[in-house]
């Protein structure tokens, strides 16, 4: 069974050969860890890195414009980004609509030229999709991270946006429509080019509770989500959504929007809660802890964590995927332990 078929079977509860596992190495990690050590670990874990070929050349990571230290970046929406460390996505420090007086002349970017964060070459995207299809790969695309709720926060500022919702600011509806129209144009292009899997990443949670009240989410954000996901669903595509943080109060509305694969964090939402709410019913793309056990626990703790999560959330029929994002600060012995555990328990139901 090839990776494409295995992934689709996991999503559709059709008995995949193994639990799909993704180990993402953040760009900053190539400056933090000895590169030879990272490459050695990657080469030793072919399930996680099936196409990796070690090199003696120094790996120079390609930082996004929002990940470059001492290089403030103004994105196409007019939001100013800054970061303190190369490779770590920064934060918006200047909001183009910090004052509503600027709204009269405010315009959305051109979806023919940008994805909302960086320039986009649609001819190159079309070529990449054609190549993926020719290789028998699953065509996975998606909107930029923070496409709707976080985009509104970046444009207005989080506190101002929350007050806008509470005050029922009439111009907010027009701004939401502007963001939605831009995003919908991108979705339409991806679907037209043959995307089979569309991701809609938008962080909604804090350490405890969501960043937006369930009432305001239902009123202001959910309708946009529904309209943005509809073209993918109508085309028979798979709708995947990522959100960091505690999103337990919002998940029902997220699923009603059309989400078929839910990517959420394990410990902040609670493995038992996730199991009770989703296991065997909706495909879980579990975001493995980066705050506690993998960063400060022992290799034994890490093995126990991954085993527990596969046991509680997985089924032989499928419905479970797992992903880990490596960032600087995790001991190398823990990195190895995590890779070992992910490869071992990917085969738990075989």
DSSP 292-341: SHHHHS-HHHHHHHHHHHHHHH--TT--EEEEEEE-TTS-HHHHHHHHHH
pLDDT at residue 349 greater than cutoff 90: no
pLDDT digits (tens, 9 = 90+) for 22-41: 999 999 999 999 999 999 99
The structure's pTM equals 0.95
82-85 own/partner pairs: CB under 8 Å, 24+ apart: 85/28
Q: Quote the tokens at residue 185.
A: 């144009």
Q: What is the pLDDT of residue 60?
A: 87
Pairing of strands 21-25, 320-326: parallel
Q: Quote the tokens at residue 33.
A: 């860890």
Residues 6+ apart with CB under 8 A from 224: 148, 176, 179, 180, 183
Residue 124 and residue 232: Cα distance in Å, rounded? 21
pLDDT digits (tens, 9 = 90+) for 213-233: 999 999 999 999 999 999 999
pLDDT digits (tens, 9 = 90+) for 292-347: 999 999 999 999 999 999 999 999 999 999 999 999 999 999 999 999 999 999 99
pLDDT digits (tens, 9 = 90+) for 90-125: 999 999 999 999 999 999 999 999 999 999 999 999
Residue 197 and residue 210: Cα distance in Å, rounded? 26
pLDDT at residue 51 greater than cutoff 90: no
Residue 139 and residue 238: Cα distance in Å, rounded? 10
Q: What is the pLDDT of residue 235?
A: 96
Would you give the distance in Å from CA 44 to the centre of its chain?
26
Q: Is 114 left (phi over 0), alpha (psi -120 to 50) or beta?
A: beta
| CA neighbor of 20 nearest in space, from 238, 219, 292 | 238
CA distances to 88, 167, 288, 336, 337 from 293, rounded to whole Å, are 21, 41, 10, 14, 11
Average pLDDT over every residue of 163-181: 98
pLDDT digits (tens, 9 = 90+) for 117-130: 999 999 999 999 99
Residue 317 and residue 9: Cα distance in Å, rounded? 8
Would you give the distance in Å from CA 190 to the centre of its chain?
17
pLDDT at residue 350 greater than cutoff 80: no
Residue 339 and residue 200: Cα distance in Å, rounded? 27
Do 50 and 66 contact (CB within 8 A), yes or no? no
Output the average pLDDT for the chain.
96
CA distances to 9, 12, 100, 201 from 146, rounded to whole Å, are 28, 26, 21, 6
Residues 6+ apart with CB under 8 A from 271: 308, 309, 312, 313
What letter would DSSP give residue 143? P
**Furthest C-alpha separation in the chain:** 61
Do 277 and 269 contact (CB within 8 A), yes or no? no
Q: What is the pLDDT of residue 195?
A: 96
Q: What is the pLDDT of residue 325?
A: 97
């Amino acid at each position: 069974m090839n990776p494409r078929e295995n992934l689709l079977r996991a999503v559709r509860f059709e008995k995949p050969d193994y639990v799909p596992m993704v180990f993402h190495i953040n760009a900053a990690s190539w400056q933090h860890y000895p590169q030879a050590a990272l490459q050695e670990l990657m080469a030793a874990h072919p399930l996680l890195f099936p196409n990796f070929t070690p090199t003696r050349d120094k790996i120079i990571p390609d930082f996004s414009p929002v990940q470059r230290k001492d290089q403030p970046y103004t994105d196409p929406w007019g939001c100013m980004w800054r970061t303190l460390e190369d490779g770590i996505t920064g934060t918006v420090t200047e909001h183009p609509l910090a004052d509503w007086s600027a709204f009269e002349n405010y315009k959305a970017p051109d979806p023919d030229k940008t994805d909302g964060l960086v320039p986009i070459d649609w001819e190159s995207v079309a070529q990449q999709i054609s190549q993926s299809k020719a290789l028998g790969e699953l065509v996975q695309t998606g909107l930029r991270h923070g496409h709707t709720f976080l985009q509104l926060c970046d444009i207005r500022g989080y506190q101002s946006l929350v007050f806008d919702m509470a005050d029922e600011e009439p111009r907010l509806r027009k701004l939401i429509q502007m963001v939605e129209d831009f995003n919908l144009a991108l979705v339409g292009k991806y679907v037209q080019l043959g995307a089979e899997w569309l991701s809609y990443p938008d962080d909604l949670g804090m350490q405890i509770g969501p960043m937006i009240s369930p009432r305001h989410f239902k009123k202001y954000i959910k309708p946009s989500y529904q309209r943005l996901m509809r073209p993918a669903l109508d085309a028979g595509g798979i709708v995947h959504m990522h959100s960091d943080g505690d999103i337990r109060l919002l998940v029902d509305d997220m699923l009603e929007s059309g989400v078929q694969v839910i990517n959420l964090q394990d410990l902040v939402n609670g493995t038992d809660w996730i199991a009770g709410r989703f296991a065997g019913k909706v495909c879980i793309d579990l975001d493995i802890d980066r705050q506690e056990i993998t960063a400060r626990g022992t290799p034994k703790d890490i093995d126990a964590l991954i085993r527990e999560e596969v046991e509680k959330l997985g089924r032989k029929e499928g419905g479970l995927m797992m992903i880990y994002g490596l960032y600087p600060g995790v001991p190398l012995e823990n990195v190895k332990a995590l890779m070992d555990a992910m490869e071992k328990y990917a085969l738990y139901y075989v």
